[in-house]
Structure 1
Amino acid sequence: MNQSESEGKTMKFTESYEYEAPVAKVWQMLSDPAFVTSRDENLEIPDPTVETNAQANQIVSTTSGEVPPSMIPAAAQRFLKGGAEFLIREEWRLVDATTIHGALRAEGKGVPAYLQAQVELKQTPAGNTKATMNGEIKVNIPFLGAKLEKQALSFAPKLIAADKKAATDWLANN
């Protein structure tokens, strides 16, 4: 993550990256369940279930499945039996021809933790789309929460790489 800090009991973060496509094409990509599935597969999440409802100016996408034990930090594994079921909800709103606003929330079933973020996708003068994400991670496990939040942030490069690979592949083929 570009920036992170612990404020109180929540770990805040900011991340920026760019898609090599204009906002209109990124909007098409976000509305395609195949893109979301590909992103999850790049994270090695087996058999994610993806539902996408795309309308003129709004997209709501949910992804659910099970996180393999190998992706769960060691300190958290003792609190969970096997993997953990998760749900990710993404909501996107097309503001105008150059801007998309998004909100996402990820949480696990029976896991005292969540990630939520606000995302702005803005077209650059070069015709690409810059993503700026501001969010927070919260783990409600006494004495281990802050440590697990930091470990969760360490997965950020893998998450962004999975998103970028899925986006690059989708944009090249659509």
Structure 2
Amino acid sequence: MGRELYWAPSEAAAPDPVDLARRAVSRMDFAAVDIGIVPQDDPDHVGVVGMPVWMWVENPAPATVGPLAESVSAGGVTVTVEARMERVVWDMGDGNTVSCTGPGTPYRESFGGEASPDCGYRYETQGNPYTVTATSYWTIRWESDGEAGSLPVQELTASTQITIGEVQVLRQ
């Protein structure tokens, strides 16, 4: 009486591409933006009520603005994920926010008192100090064998403090 042994392929279901996409996102190296701002976070730099404040992403890199890409394979399924920073929302610390697409334009001394072309603000009252918070929002999309979708937006936050003073002119 001999026993016959044979191998039969498993009927296991293919992995869920959304689960694989989440795994790919967990491998991505997201980082909050490095804040560039004028006036700077420094006791020797004071902004002035009504003068332009410039905000930007200092040293933009894939981890802070994208794009980031990652692929994961399992059970014959490959999912590719791409993540990009969609916008930065700046909480100015005085109850107002500014939403900027892209990394913004770094300030240079040659700009003088000009307003930022893409990401700026003007304070209406003095503050010592204002806490400015930059929250970056990322769009995350995945695709696999003709299927595609998106995952919840990733949010990352950084903050700094700036001082805004008021100029008073005295006449005799």
Shared topology, TM-score over 0.5? no
Task: Report the TM-score when normalising by structure 2.
Answer: 0.31
* TM-score, length of structure 1 as denominator length: 0.30
Max radius of gyration: which structure? 2
